[in-house]
Structure formats: C-alpha cells, structure tokens
A and B are shown apart, each in its own frame.
Chain A
Amino acid sequence: MLARNSEGLALTANADARRLRWPLRRRADAPIRGGQAESGLKRAHFTGSWLPFWLLAPQLFILLLFFFIPSVRALLQAFQLTDPFGATTQWVGFQNFERLFRSGVYWSSVQVTLLFTLAQNILTLSVALVLAFATNHIARGRGAYRTILLLPYAIAPAIAGIMLAFLFNPRVGPVAQMLQGLGFDWDPNRNSGHALALIVMAASWKHICYNYIFLVAALLSVPRSILESAYLDGAGPIQRFLRICLPMISPTLFFLVVINFVYGLFETFAIVDATTRGGPAGSTSILVYKVYQDGFVTLDLGSSAAQSVVLMALALALTFAQFRFIERRVNYSV
C-alpha cells in the first residue's frame, strides 16, 4: 500500500517534470544524477591560494578592527588598574574580578538582568504572536496593518526610550496621569518594580515588530491543506492555532527566543540609558548598562573591562548552546 503510494507520487512528479521547459527540467533532473552534481561542486574550488584571502579581507579587516582588537584590549584591561588618561597602569591580577564577584551591586544587576530578559522575552513573543495570529485572520487591509505594526522597528532606541520615559513620567506624563487617575500609584522614580516594567515595555515595544515579521512568515507557511482538514473536522480558529499552527512554527519560536535573549542581554543599553539611566537605586541597571556606566561615566575602566569579559563569555556560551542544542534539534523547513 505504502509502496504503491510512493510510486504514484513519483509518477506525478515525473509527469510534472515533463511539462517544464528545458532549463528547469535540467534542474529538476539534477538530483537524479546526484553523485555527479556533488563532485561538480567539489571541483569548483579556487586554484590560486591568495584569491580567497583577498575576497575575505574586507570582512576580516572589519572584524579585526571592531571585534578582535577591542576584545584583546578588554581582556588585558580586565587585569589592570589604570588611570583614565593612561598615565599610570598597574597589573593587578584578578583584583577586578574579585571585586566584581564580591560586590552585591553586581549580583543584584545579574538578578535584574535575568528578570528583565525573561519578562521582555515573554512579553515580546506573546504580543507578537497575538498580533501575527490576528493579522492572519484579517481579510481586508492586511498590508496596511502589517506596515503599521512594523513601524516601531524604524525608531531609534534612544527616541523610543525618551518617549516612554516622558509618557510615563509621574509628574508630567499623560499615561502616568491616566494611571494615577485610575487610582494606581504609578511612580517609576520611587518604585523599582515600576521602573523595571517601564524598561521591559520599552524594550519589547521596539522588538515586537522583529518577532512579528518572523511569525507572520511562519504562519503563512503552515500548509493550508492541514488547516482545512482540521476545519472540516470542526476545529475552531483558536484550536487550529494552538493545535496546528503553534507546533508547526515551533522552530521559528525557538529561533526568536534565542534572538530575544541576545537582544535583551546585549542590545538594550540605549533604551535603559534613555528611559531610566539604570535607576532608581540601580534597580534597572542591567549588565550591559553597567559596563557602559562603569566604563564611561565613572571611568572605572578595570571593572568595566572585567564585566565585558564576563559578558563575552556569556555570549560565547549562548552561541555554543544555540548551535549545539537548538540548531541540531530544530528543523527550519516548516
């Protein structure tokens, strides 16, 4: 039964191929002579040894300039105590790291970062999912909705941050005054939770569009035939979404979770700087913001370098985890 079925499929595929014009037919034929095609690929390598180097050079140069040199300098500086102007430099071994790991402020920053990235991830993904689900069910003006939803991505993080800080400012912000009018004592200047909520909102708002665009694409690629058969079996839109779409777009979800973590950990500095400046009392000072503050505001270069080395290690670990576990288990072709 099964064998016959597959034979039938193969037959229709051949029939299709016969109907195609010759250049495409050749491509369609290619897999049949798989061995030859592969050896053809293998043969297509560069003969001169310098050409690949020159082709790679521009990218390598940029990496060298903006990644390798700064990384090495950060690594060196993490073991030094240095005057901001560079007049005096002392090698201090692990003093900077010791100081860092002993400091309660650093650990509370770690805590804040965990809380922030988790909350940001959940909020971003769930809102983007709801929006993607909704636009998928809109018949008219889908393009307009999508464009509007994508707009925040074009706004600079600093502007997004300032705007939210202003809207939610307990003294002058219209949204804050609305909240206070409803009897909610909103004050991010005196309440760490409110301040954290504010940066989570700001960071998510900026990143929802990115998640949304991926989710819309993923939802579109869910085969209609399966959805239709579920429909015939009497599944409602929410059930179809939860039982069919969600499992089928799980690779995209996994990918977005990783991206959101990376975004929350490393790219939210500008938003924090514009929205709360890490305050009040360091309650929104996430790790990457602390690197900036200690390096460029308080000129504590040694500590800042040590912190960026820790972050570098974290980034490496995340990348490793992504390749080792997620990439291997998730099949990207939906």
Chain B
Amino acid sequence: MRPIHAVLAGAGALLLAGLSTAQAATEIEFWHAMSGALGERVDEVVKKFNDSQKEYVVKAIAKGTYDEVLNGTIAAYRAKRQPEIVQSNERSFLTMVNSGAIVPTAELMAEQGYKVDWSNFIKPVVSYYAINGKLQAMPFNSSTPILFYNRDHFKAAGFDKPGATWQELEPQLDAIKAKGVSKCAMVLPGDYEWSFLENYSAVNDIPYATRRNGLDGLDATFVFNKGKLVGQVERMKRLVSSGVMQIAGQGVIPVQLFTSGECSTIIASTAAHAAVVAAAKFDWSATELPYEQGVTPKNSVIGGAALWTLKGHTPEKYKAVAAFYNFLAQTDTQVWWHQATGYVPVTVAAYEAAKAQGYYDKSPTRAIAVVQLMRGTPSDNSLGFRIGNSNQINVAIMEEVSAAFLGRKPVQQALDDAVNRGNEALRRYEQLNAGKK
C-alpha cells in the first residue's frame, strides 16, 4: 500500500503544481480593430504589460474593422464565448452601454480597489464615455480631426499656411487648383460625417441634436438641417463639384492621396500622423480645424475607441482586466502610446509630461489635437454625442449628403431627409430602450 500512497501523493503534488502555475498567470482575451502599424503598437503595449508583471497575461487578437469586431463580439456574446475586453468605437457607446453585456469601468476599478483620479482625464474624453461622472469604458485610442497640409503646395501657390477660418481657407484651396499646383486641393475623408459635420457643429457651437446632442436623454431629435450646417454642406458640395475636393473612392484610402503628394490637404484624425510620418516625402505640417469667421472656436470632439469589459467571467479574470486598465492609465504608458501612435493621451498629466520632455518642440503637430480638445470650456454643443442606433444613422446621413454631392437632390432637401431618417432611427431606439439612459 505504501508505494501506491507515495505515487498518489506525488501525482497530487504534480497536479497541484500544475494548477498553481496555471493560476499564476490569468489569461484574458482582448479583441481589437487596429491593423497595420497601429496593430503593432497594440501588440507592443500589451507586451509591455505582460512583461511588467507575472500574474496576468493579456492576449491581443485583431478581429478586423470596428464593425467586424462589434459583430464578432455580438456573435460571441450570444454564444457565451465572449472575450474579457473588446475595443469598440466611440459611436457605439449607447449600443454597448445598453447591451446589458458590459461591466462599467468605474465600477470594475472600484471593486478591484484601484483609485483612479478621473478628474485628471481630458474633459471631452470623460464627457463622452461617462454617465453621471462614472466612466463606462476605458478610453484607449482617442483622437480628434485636424487639418494636415502639404507645405510645398501652399508655398507654390503663394501662401504661408492654411487660413484659420473657412473663409480664408476656401480661396486658398481654389487657388491651389486654379494655379495648377495640384489637381486635388483637398481629399474628402471617409469619415466626413464625423470630421466635417459633428466636429464642425462642436467647434462652431451649433446644436446638432436636441437634449445636448443626446447626453440628456434618448428623446433627442436631430436639428442639423438648419443654419450654418446647411452652409457647411453647401460648401462641401461646391468644393466637390468644382473638383477642388476629390473623393478617393473604393480601393484607395483617402489619406494615401495626401501622403502620395497628390492632394494638398486632408482633414483627418490625428492618428493619421502614423501614416503621414511613414509615407509623406514632402514638407508637410498640420493645423487646427478651420472654423467660421467671427466665431470663437470651441473644443472639438473625440473619435477613436474605448475598451469595454464584458460580463460573464470569473472574478480572477476581472482582476486581470483592472490591472491592465490601471497599467494603461499610467502616465508613462500614456506618453509612450501618444508618441508611438499619434492618438491623444487621455490624461492631462500625460500631456504635461510629454510637454516637459520637449516632445512638442520636436514634433509640434502632435500637440494640435490635445490643445484643440482642451481649448475653452466645453459648451452644450461640444461636450459630445450620445446617439442611439448610431451605425444606422451614420449610414443614412452619409447616403443623403452624398446624394446632395451627386446633385440628386438639393442640399436642404438632403439634410431634411437625413434628419427624418435619423429621427426615425432615434425613435426606434427609444421604443426599444424605454426607461434606460
């Protein structure tokens, strides 16, 4: 009997040892939508976290575009095989919050005993992702649109730099085309609904939807078919139909037309820095978004994405998630992430640290987005957007606005139709989520 006991004990010990090594490193999955250079940066930041401690291992998995990641997450959640962390873009905020599938970040961090100073976060970032001051998701890659320009083209056309207002910028763009400096003075970005409409309304302090753009409740309605926003779409239409502003079309990414030197300007996310630095073989620079003459510009609004924690996992896993978030919020991590990717740091401390390092003296265009986000006191029109069924509305608005570009309908009618289609989707969202935030 004895030898058998010994064997059993040995086996038990081995088993225990096996279990304890398995427990030593809790593995969690992180699904994201970053590809190319940005995907490599995500792998790097995850590796930094994994190397910084021994208890947790984060596995970063690229799952395609934002839409594809969200679809994959929905399918996985319905099949009860969801990852712990998923990256989802800013406009999916309400979809995620009301999904019943997430653990709010503020709650998670408090439960796990992390004291996070949320007041240190950049205001438009917090106001976007928080409800009653409580962050629902962990801000990860936040951006905002800025204007990139080809300085060689501007010099050749006799200008120093782009004008600060649309009234100054427009004649410059026309001149670049007319003087034959470039056949394409500006390229229309793929996400113009965000950069040319939503951000335009924030910067120029115009309501886009009622109820503070939806922050105050699901009963908001769109009002972007009035006043200056109509003028903005008229302007875009004029630029497109005169050929000053070109549409990149399928098979080509708009920013490629800027970095190849073909188009003189692009209004793009500050995250385009990565592509511009890598590919632009000319003297380029960037500046803040143009605004309307006579307006004191407000802060712009964020884009990008945040990390959501999904329900249905063990406490062990959530410990790992919280540790990862805590690591991401560290000033060092933020400074590195900001410099490596072009996204804005999410805390004021990180911005100050980068400044103290003299980073913005070396790369002045990297500060533009942060300054633009922090400028002035956010108004009701520039705090952010909280729109239900946002994917449907996005597609509807783009469809209607581009119908105006094609000349299929007048701008006013296109915007009226966009507002109607948008409001219909908002009401449907309200119907389904009655009684929620």
Question: CB of B355 within 8 A of chain A?
Answer: no
Question: CB of A39 within 8 A of chain B?
Answer: no
Chain B 92-123 per-residue mask, 1 if CB under 8 angstroms from chain A, else 0: 00010011110000000000000000000000
CB distance from A170 to the nearest CB of B (A): 7
Tell me whether A165 and B251 are in contact in the complex, defined as CB-CB below 8 angstroms, given that A90-B431, A280-B402 are known contacts.
Answer: yes
Chain A 294-311 per-residue mask, 1 if CB under 8 angstroms from chain B, else 0: 101111100000000000
B249/A171 in contact, CB under 8 A:
yes
B408/A192 in contact, CB under 8 A:
yes
Residues on the B chain within 8 Å of A105, using CB: 399, 421
Question: CB of A277 within 8 A of chain B?
Answer: yes
A298/B392 in contact, CB under 8 A:
yes
Give residues 36-77 of A contacting B (CB, 8 Å).
none
Residues on the B chain within 8 Å of A281, using CB: 399-400, 402-403, 405-406, 408
Give residues 63-96 of A contacting B (CB, 8 Å).
81-88, 90
Residues on the A chain within 8 Å of B250, using CB: 162, 165, 169, 274-277, 279
Partner of B251, one of A86, A166, A282, A294: A166
A169/B98 in contact, CB under 8 A:
no
A84/B99 in contact, CB under 8 A:
yes
Question: CB of B181 within 8 A of chain A?
Answer: no
Question: CB of B45 within 8 A of chain A?
Answer: no
A276 vs B424: C-alpha distance in the bound complex, in angstroms? Answer: 26
Residues on the A chain within 8 Å of B98, using CB: 83, 87-88
B262/A87 in contact, CB under 8 A:
no
B249/A170 in contact, CB under 8 A:
yes
Tell me whether A171 and B71 are in contact in the complex, defined as CB-CB below 8 angstroms, given that A90-B432, A297-B391 are known contacts.
Answer: no
Question: CB of B433 within 8 A of chain A?
Answer: yes
Determine the residue in chain A with the shortest Cβ distance to B393. Answer: A298
Majority secondary structure of chain B interface residues (helix, strand, loop or mixed): helix
A172/B432 in contact, CB under 8 A:
no
Residues on the A chain within 8 Å of B257, using CB: 171-172
Tell me whether A279 and B432 are in contact in the complex, defined as CB-CB below 8 angstroms, given that A85-B77, A87-B99, A172-B252 are known contacts.
Answer: no
Partner of A87, one of B70, B100, B240: B100
Residues on the B chain within 8 Å of A294, using CB: 392
Tell me whether A83 and B392 are in contact in the complex, defined as CB-CB below 8 angstroms, given that A165-B249, A166-B251, A190-B406 are known contacts.
Answer: no
A84/B247 in contact, CB under 8 A:
no
Give residues 353-411 of B contacting A (CB, 8 Å).
389, 391-392, 394-395, 399-400, 402-403, 405-406, 408
Question: CB of A189 within 8 A of chain B?
Answer: yes
CB distance from A201 to the nearest CB of B (A): 14
Question: CB of A322 within 8 A of chain B?
Answer: no
Tell me whether A190 and B240 are in contact in the complex, defined as CB-CB below 8 angstroms, given that A83-B432, A85-B77 are known contacts.
Answer: yes
Chain B 239-255 per-residue mask, 1 if CB under 8 angstroms from chain A, else 0: 01100001111111000
A189/B433 in contact, CB under 8 A:
no
Q: Which 7 A-B pairs have the closest CB atoms?
A: A87-B100, A85-B99, A281-B403, A165-B251, A166-B251, A189-B247, A165-B250
Could you name 8 residue pairs across A and B whose Cβ atoms are closer than 8 Å?
A83-B433, A90-B432, A162-B251, A170-B249, A190-B406, A283-B406, A299-B70, A300-B389
